[in-house]
Amino acid sequence: METLSRRIFEEIWNYRNLAVIDELIAPEYVHHDPQSPDVVDGIVGYRRFVQRYLTAFPDIHIAIHDEIAAGSCVVTRWTASGTHNGDLPGIPRTGRSISVSGITIARTRNGKIIESWNNWDAFGMMRQLGVLQEMNRAA
């Protein structure tokens, strides 16, 4: 189970092998992430989510710090770093580097991830991108 979670981070995010999504994500996959509420369920939704961040941060790298497995779930503590060289929805390219930490809980069934809960430092990312200063000036 830890191997499955590690493959998501290593093969999809770090090596940008999007073909692996079909192998690792279940068709009924559900993505829980308060920072990305518009992610559509299923393989297509997950693929779009990954593409959005790979476009915005083409050099993104995710380091895995801890993994804990229990039952059908695996918890992964990670840090993502990269350079904002592409647009995010509502945030034009800044060229700034970011480093944010997060935790993902993935539930698996039959060798695929069927659901994940993600909690990461979106506020820290916005601060590092300089978006918060822009919001304060506009207020």
Contact 88, 56 (CB under 8 A): yes
pLDDT at position 38 is 87
Half-sphere exposure for 8 (CA within 13 Å, toward CB):
28
Residue 80: per-residue pLDDT: 98
Overall average pLDDT of the 51-79 stretch: 97
Q: How far apart, in whole angstroms, are the C-alpha atoms of residue 54 and residue 137?
A: 29
Lookup result for tokens 């992610």: 39
Q: Phi, psi at residue 82, to the nearest 5°? A: 180, 180
pLDDT at 123 over 90: yes
Average pLDDT, the chain: 93
Q: What is the pLDDT of residue 85?
A: 98
pLDDT at residue 36 in the model:
84
Phi-psi region of 61 (alpha: psi -120 to 50; beta: other; left: phi over 0): beta
Q: How far apart are CA 81 and CA 55, in angstroms?
A: 14
Q: Which residues pair with 69 in a beta bridge?
A: 74
| pLDDT value at 17 more than 60 | yes
| pTM over the 0.85 mark | yes
Domains of the chain, earliest start first: 2-138 (3.10.450.50)
- Hey, which bits of the chain come out as E strands? 25-32, 61-70, 73-83, 97-109, 112-120
CA distance 78 to 103: 6
pLDDT band at residue 134 under the 50/70/90 scheme: low
Q: What average pLDDT score do residues 49-53 get?
A: 96
First to last CA, the chain: 47
